[in-house]
Amino acid sequence: MSEELETLFKQMAQSIIDGDSDISVELAQKSIEMNIPPLDAITKGFVVGVNYIGDQFGLGEAFLPELVMAGEAMKAAVATLEPELLKLGEARETMGKVVLATVEGDIHEIGKTLVGTMLSASGFEVTDLGVDQPADKIIGKAIEIGASIVGMSALLTTTMVRQREVIEEMDKEGLRPKIKVMVGGAPITREWATKIKADGYSEDAVGAVKLAKDLVGKGDA
Amino acid sequence: MRPKLTLLSDEIIARILEEAYELLRCPGVKVQNPEARDLLASAGAIMYPDNNVVGIPAALVHKALESVPREFYLYDYDGNPVVHYGGDSVHFDPGSSGIAMLNPETLEHDTTETEHLLRLIKVAEQIPQYDAQSTAVICHDVPKDIQDSYRLYLALLYSKKPIVTGAFTNKTVQEMIDMLSLFAGSPEAAREKPRAIFDVCPAPPLIWSNFGAGNLIALAKAGIPAEIVSVPLSGAAAPVTMLGTVTQHTAECFAGIVIHQLANPGSPIVWGGAAAIFDMRKGATPMGAVETAMLDCSYAQVAKTLNMPTHTYLGATDSKLVDAQAGLESGISAMVGALSGINMISGSGMLDFLACHSAEKLVIDAEGIAMAKRMVKGVQQHTDTLATGFYDEKINFKGGDFLKQKITMKLFREEQHLPSSIIDRDSTRVWKEAGSLDAFGRAKLRVKELLASYSQPEIAPDKKERINAFMLELAKKAGIEELPGLEETQIA
């Protein structure tokens, strides 16, 4: 790798670490002008930064604003590179499609949105339905886009039971195990996830990315 | 919008000063040091040779207050001004002169030796909340004659921070001053950028002992900062009322400053103390009592009307363990001290009426200090508009909107203190996975981490050699051929 290229990749990673969308977009454009394969820009440049921040967050060294801003900077860079990828006919292989929602009767948003940001930043195609979503909406969307994962959030002990209802409905319609289900939220435990037969649960947004990769069989990516 | 705690009205402060002047004149102050008495006599004080009592006229106090510095700094090893004595600056250091240390495993109060002091120094060295080290515990593994100088020696070798220390006799204060001069390169260098400050205690009520006054004079002559630690005990060694106690404290400080400034006008000295109430059930001197904190806040307010640098003893507990009592007494009193704008607040890490130290408590107290310092920083205005500027076109009325703003990333560290692993904000699940530890359990882990991550500061070999030789000489005079083995620094 030329020194210039190496420097560019490093700058790309740094722009994500700094959570600076302006610079990450600028660097993405520069890489297009330099005829760098957009996939290289993503995997050898920007993704390195996302992984770093994710690790730092796990260690307690980085904080939520940094995590979110890194995710946003990543999304912006990828959006800049997307047309180029399409043009070259080598659309970035997505990690999979994910439908995210907070269950019916629950309006808590932040945790789920964080998971969405981190999943997008890690190469998943995320459709975030928002809060207070009934089972039929969530399932309908998953079928419509051909999702590989449904992620459900609940912050209340009174609404977490809705997660089970959605899973039961999906089972009834024969959608599983093709579509995996991950659950999260403050009252959610591993035991609960097992009890309602979800495919996995995570404590935080960084863990959710690892879980989602495992669920789509790309744990090494 | 800096918050400030004041307990006294201007009128009351004026009366405290007035009555303190009266106390200095009658009954006067017992001065048990001949040189101090000579200085006072030459300056025109009224001498009562029968009982060594001296009547100090207000004019002498006024004169001393003219020459005394209103601010000065303590410097670290690299020569940076780190501790600012003056104004409303707030610093914390670990408490001094403990005789025992809490064993985190057995929960016994072990008699302290070299290893204990080193443990405390290593931990405090790495905690940013402590701007200075203290010579925290007495090392009982060396002879009495060098127990004070040896502590300073260890602090100089194992730390780069400024040091709050003290001598136990008039002979050893000079030895310690000499050690500082040798370390700095010359007496002038030691005076120019003082590394250490010496606590000096009057005895209540209204006594400047031979040792206390002797220390004041030696320090003044050397130009090394002195810190008056006046210890009135309300109801026993001082009037039962807070106002009476604060007035006695004022008189004791005045007398100390007069002796000190007569010995060498312009030498730095601090208005400090370890005032406490006297517990009427146990006959004890509770450092964690709210009244103790109130006394300290009050005398600091008196000092501030005179524009004097300030010190106090807060952030300690009377509990024997690092438990809930330790947490609440230390935390509340540290907060009172910080809100009072006291320049140096000693006492962190200490249990059992300042007798026992704990490294685990030191790391927990650091979190209380961080909270107190955050409080003192106050509510700040960071942006031109208070709120409206945050609601731009990207706002979509979702809970996470503000997490995506650059300004959040820029300012959250300014607005929020980010606590260490001592403070538990985990989910119950993560907390359980980490072993369901309480604060003391987490502190034990943190102390282990800090001891593992500590590395001895690089001290110039010539400095090291000079004080090694000097210390060994003192040790020999005290009757021992070698000092306890120090891990990396063997005595030449």
- Print the SS3 string covering B247-284: HHHHHHHHHHHHHHHHHCCCCCEEECECCEECCCCCCC
Largest CA distance in chain B: 85
Instruction: Mark yes or no for CB contact A65/B412 under 8 Å.
Output: yes
Whole-Å CA distances, A85 to A51, A75, A82, A188 = 22, 15, 5, 39
State how far Cα B35 lies from the chain centre: 28
Tens of pLDDT, residues B288-304: 999 999 999 999 999 99
Considering the domain architecture, whether residues B151 and B84 belong to the same structural domain is answered as yes
What letter represents residue B104's amino acid? P
Instruction: Mark yes or no for CB contact A65/B403 under 8 Å.
Output: yes
Considering the domain architecture, whether residues B271 and B183 belong to the same structural domain is answered as yes
Q: Is the pLDDT of residue A75 over 80?
A: yes
A110 contacts chain B (CB < 8 A): yes
**Residue B478 structure tokens:** 């005290």
Dist CA B438 CA B431 (whole Å): 10
Determine the structural domain holding residue B25 and report its residue range: 10-56
Whether residue B440 lies inside any domain: the answer is no
* The pLDDT of residue A92: 64
Best to test chain B binding among A21, A24, A59, A69 (most B CBs inside 10 Å): A69
Structural domain ending residue among the three candidates B345, B377, B409: B377
Considering the domain architecture, whether residues B163 and B50 belong to the same structural domain is answered as no
* The pLDDT of residue A122: 85
Whole-Å CA distances, B460 to A103, A120, A164, B80 = 65, 54, 68, 16
What letter represents residue B228's amino acid? I
Place of tokens 């060498």: B264
CB B109 within 8 A of CB B371: no
Mind telling me how many Å the CA of B362 is from chain A's nearest CA? 22
Residue A90 banded pLDDT, cuts 50, 70, 90: low
What letter would DSSP give residue B197? E
Considering the domain architecture, whether residues B208 and B121 belong to the same structural domain is answered as yes
A64 contacts chain B (CB < 8 A): yes
Q: Pick from B120, B204, B203, B206: which is nearest to B164 by CA?
A: B120
Sign of CA dihedral B486, B488, B489, B492: positive
Dist CA B193 CA B76 (whole Å): 9
Q: Pick from B308, B242, B230: which is nearest to B269 by CA?
A: B308
Considering the domain architecture, whether residues B47 and B78 belong to the same structural domain is answered as no
The residues of chain B scoring below 70 in pLDDT are: 487-492
**Could you tell me the residue ranges of all domains in chain A?**
3-87, 96-215
Dist CA B367 CA B357 (whole Å): 17
Dist CA A175 CA B163 (whole Å): 70
Residues of B in contact with A186 (CB under 8 A): 427
Tens of pLDDT, residues A3-20: 889 999 999 999 999 999
Dist CA B25 CA B19 (whole Å): 10
Dist CA B137 CA B364 (whole Å): 18
Topology alike, domains A3-87 and A96-215: no
B403 contacts chain A (CB < 8 A): yes
In B412-441, the residues whose Cβ lies within 8 Å of chain A are 412, 418, 421, 427, 429-430
Considering the domain architecture, whether residues B103 and B77 belong to the same structural domain is answered as yes
Tens of pLDDT, residues A193-216: 999 999 999 988 888 999 999 999
Burial of B324 (0-12, 13-18, 19+ CB in 10 A): exposed
Total length of chain A: 221
What letter represents residue A139's amino acid? I
* Calculated CA dihedral for residues B400, B403, B407, B408, nearest 10 degrees: 120
Instruction: Mark yes or no for CB contact A108/B409 under 8 Å.
Output: no
Mind telling me how many Å the CA of A111 is from chain B's nearest CA? 8
Residues of A in contact with B409 (CB under 8 A): 19, 65-66, 69
Q: Pick from A66, A2, A70: which is nearest to A36 by CA?
A: A2
CB B329 within 8 A of CB B317: yes
Instruction: Mark yes or no for CB contact B398/A109 under 8 Å.
Output: yes
Whether residue B200 lies inside any domain: the answer is yes
**Residue A113 structure tokens:** 């949105």
CATH code for the domain defined by A96-215: 3.40.50.280
Whether residue B468 lies inside any domain: the answer is no
Give the number of domains in chain B: 2
Considering the domain architecture, whether residues B207 and B275 belong to the same structural domain is answered as yes
Residues of B in contact with A63 (CB under 8 A): 412, 418
Sign of CA dihedral B295, B296, B301, B302: positive
What letter represents residue B126's amino acid? Q
Considering the domain architecture, whether residues B173 and B150 belong to the same structural domain is answered as yes
Dist CA B263 CA B77 (whole Å): 28
The SS3 of residue B149 is helix
Closest residue, chain A, to B408 (C-alpha) = A65
Mind telling me how many Å the CA of B391 is from chain A's nearest CA? 17
What letter represents residue B214's amino acid? G
B398 contacts chain A (CB < 8 A): yes
Instruction: Mark yes or no for CB contact A19/B403 under 8 Å.
Output: no
Among the four given CATH numbers 3.30.70.360, 3.30.365.10, 1.10.1240.10, 3.40.50.300, the one describing domain A3-87: 1.10.1240.10
* The pLDDT of residue B490: 43
What letter represents residue B256's amino acid? G
Q: What are the backbone angles phi and psi of residue B9, rounded to the nearest 5°?
A: -85, 160
Dist CA A70 CA B417 (whole Å): 22
Q: Pick from B326, B419, B424, B439: which is nearest to B95 by CA?
A: B326
Considering the domain architecture, whether residues B52 and B73 belong to the same structural domain is answered as no
Q: What are the backbone angles phi and psi of residue B346, rounded to the nearest 5°?
A: -95, 155
Whether residue B359 lies inside any domain: the answer is yes
Considering the domain architecture, whether residues B45 and B124 belong to the same structural domain is answered as no
Burial of A174 (0-12, 13-18, 19+ CB in 10 A): exposed
Sign of CA dihedral B19, B23, B24, B25: positive
Structural domain ending residue among the three candidates B357, B377, B397: B377
Mind telling me how many Å the CA of B321 is from chain A's nearest CA? 29
Mind telling me how many Å the CA of A172 is from chain B's nearest CA? 32
* The pLDDT of residue B492: 38
Closest residue, chain B, to A131 (C-alpha) = B398
Tens of pLDDT, residues A140-156: 999 999 999 999 999 98
Considering the domain architecture, whether residues B188 and B70 belong to the same structural domain is answered as yes
CB A199 within 8 A of CB A180: yes
Instruction: Mark yes or no for CB contact B399/A203 under 8 Å.
Output: no
Beta strand pairing status for A96-102 and A124-128? parallel
Instruction: Mark yes or no for CB contact A110/B404 under 8 Å.
Output: no
The C-alpha angle with vertex B89 and arms to B83 and B94, in degrees rounded to 5, equals 55
**Residue B337 structure tokens:** 């001290």
Q: Pick from B265, B165, B218: which is nearest to B33 by CA?
A: B218
Mind telling me how many Å the CA of A92 is from chain B's nearest CA? 25
Residues of B in contact with A203 (CB under 8 A): 427, 429-430
Q: Pick from B444, B421, B137: which is nearest to B321 by CA?
A: B444
The SS3 of residue B4 is coil
Whether residue B292 lies inside any domain: the answer is yes
Residue A59 banded pLDDT, cuts 50, 70, 90: confident
Instruction: Mark yes or no for CB contact A65/B408 under 8 Å.
Output: yes
CATH classification at residue B223: 3.20.20.480
State how far Cα B335 lies from the chain centre: 15
Instruction: Mark yes or no for CB contact A108/B399 under 8 Å.
Output: yes
A68 contacts chain B (CB < 8 A): yes
Instruction: Mark yes or no for CB contact B404/A66 under 8 Å.
Output: no
Residue A91 banded pLDDT, cuts 50, 70, 90: low
Whether residue B469 lies inside any domain: the answer is no
Rounded to two decimals, what is the model's pTM? 0.89
Burial of B330 (0-12, 13-18, 19+ CB in 10 A): buried
Considering the domain architecture, whether residues B245 and B342 belong to the same structural domain is answered as yes
Instruction: Mark yes or no for CB contact A68/B403 under 8 Å.
Output: yes
Dist CA A61 CA A58 (whole Å): 8
The SS3 of residue B333 is helix
Residues of A in contact with B398 (CB under 8 A): 109, 113, 130
* The pLDDT of residue A83: 87
CB B16 within 8 A of CB B254: no
Residues of A in contact with B418 (CB under 8 A): 63
Q: Pick from B131, B103, B151: which is nearest to B359 by CA?
A: B103
Q: What is the DSSP string of A37-95?
A: -HHHIIIIIIHHHHHHHHHHHHTTSS-HHHHHHHHHHHHHHHHHHHHHHHHTT--PPPS
A65 contacts chain B (CB < 8 A): yes
Place of tokens 């003893």: B313
CB A127 within 8 A of CB A100: yes
B394 contacts chain A (CB < 8 A): no
The C-alpha angle with vertex B367 and arms to B405 and B277, in degrees rounded to 5, equals 140
Structural domain ending residue among the three candidates B327, B349, B377: B377
What letter would DSSP give residue B38? H
